[in-house]
Amino acid sequence: MTDLTDLTAVQLLDGYRTGEFGPVEVTRATLARAESIQPEVNAFVRLTGEDALARAAESEERWRRGEPAGRLDGVPVTVKDLLLMRGHPTLRGSLAVDPAGGRWDEDAPSVARLREHGAVFLGKTTTPEYGWKGVTDSPLSGVTRNPHDHARTVGGSSGGAAAAVALGAGPLALGTDGGGSVRIPASFCGIFGLKPTYGRVPLYPASAFGTLAHVGPMARDAADAALMLDVIGAPDARDWSALGPAAGSYSAALGAGVRGLRVAYSASLGGQVAVAPGVAARVRRGVERLASLGAHVVEADPDFTDPVGAFHVLWFSGAARVVSHLRSGQRELLDAGLREVVGAGARYSALEYLAAVDVRMELGRRMGRFHEAYDLLVTPTLPITAFEAGRETPVGSGQRRWTGWTPFTYPFNLTQQPAATVPVGTDGDGLPVGLQIVAARHRDDLVLRAAHALYESAR
């Protein structure tokens, strides 16, 4: 018998159409899975079971009448606890946020679009405090753990979202990505995660991290993510920086494949990154699969050096801004690492900030020229697999901050390009490895096409 929690969103919708099963049955099974994984993995800040079952019942009646409300009617979805969801507090992983305060009567744009299309909200997923780092632990909700090894980190900052999808607690999740926060946990958990072109998915309230911050889908495969992006990528007047409507359906474009696409494979960004052998081998096999599917693959490195200094100026300044409203007593409740970053961010001058913006603009120019020659850039998503849970950096790495082990992700937040991670197997310890696919701005369709081709070739 099919386990309903193992099905993709596309498969669930097919089942609803045929009447093989309904949204209420699926939602009950998914909530039961979420409850069963919570004690050991800690993926959720809260489950919203009563609301979910009520929405599922409404969806089931619409399907019975043959009148689904939208493209995701009855599909279970989770929401990262940085995004507003009407009727429930958004605590952002922080003891300093008052559950009784805030705008809990409003949806973020991506949540609003999902609601309009009939999605069933299972609950809010865990995040580090204000999403500030690439692992998921916080003073509010503790440590979120990797589904493949509970002693290891899930990654972050959309860690709860990744764990939920990986373990069947909803086929779709909303995540955010300011420096890799969708791609990092998706890679560590062996699922698909997409950071769309900046502005493709509207964001409100505006992030204190500015135009580094993207909202993106996390799913079991690229087809589900494309379907979700078709829904959440609609414009919203509350985000002045949002893009206009997409030129077409991302789902409809998936079947075009990769034949003829020009793919640059950069194994280490020109020798700048030391990549674990097990990761390097798996990513190379993924690249070879793209070539076997008809892509023109060459080894080529993008023309830039590590922009981590500029990223830190922008990121740490954003962290200082995000907690600027807190009183001194509230600041004592913050994650110790976040307090350090906030202190650094508060010391930067306006001129230093603008100098970092200059670095960002030059990086964008270089990548724009790079994509005149190549449709796609492929790299490892991360140079390592998941390490010990509860730490910002691996033991013995000598690294101070999470950016030390994420050199493939944050550059493409600076450039606002679409970037996705696709699982390409496991290393010698059985831990998932991710392959990153990057395209020029506004070419999310190419990223999704290539990812879908990899999934289809592996079935």
Is residue 248 a contact partner of residue 357, using CB atoms and an 8 Å limit? no
Instruction: Report the Cα–Cα distance between both ends of the chain, in Å, rounded.
Output: 20
Q: Which DSSP string corresponds to 304-332?
A: ----HHHHHHHHHHHHHHHTTT--HHHHT
Alpha-carbon distance of 325 to 243, in angstroms, equals 30
187 is catalytic: no
Which residue from 271, 272, 360, 241 is spatially nearest to 310, judged by alpha carbons? 360
| CA 448 from centre of chain | 14
Alpha-carbon distance of 360 to 340, in angstroms, equals 24
207 is catalytic: no
Active-site residue, selected from the candidate residues 157, 158, 187, 207: 157
Is residue 146 a contact partner of residue 189, using CB atoms and an 8 Å limit? yes
- The encoded tokens of residue 229 equal 């992006």
The DSSP element (H or E) to which 284 belongs, if any, is: helix 277-292
Alpha-carbon distance of 312 to 298, in angstroms, equals 32
- Per-residue burial over 28-60, b = 16 or more CB atoms within 10 Å of its CB, e = otherwise: ebbbebbeebbeebbbbbbbbbebbbebbebbb
DSSP 256: G
397 is catalytic: no
3-state secondary structure of 112: helix
Active-site residue, selected from the candidate residues 80, 124, 133, 195: 80
| CA 451 from centre of chain | 15
Is residue 250 a contact partner of residue 444, using CB atoms and an 8 Å limit? yes
Active-site residue, selected from the candidate residues 138, 158, 181, 317: 181
**Which residues are catalytic, by number?**
80, 157, 181
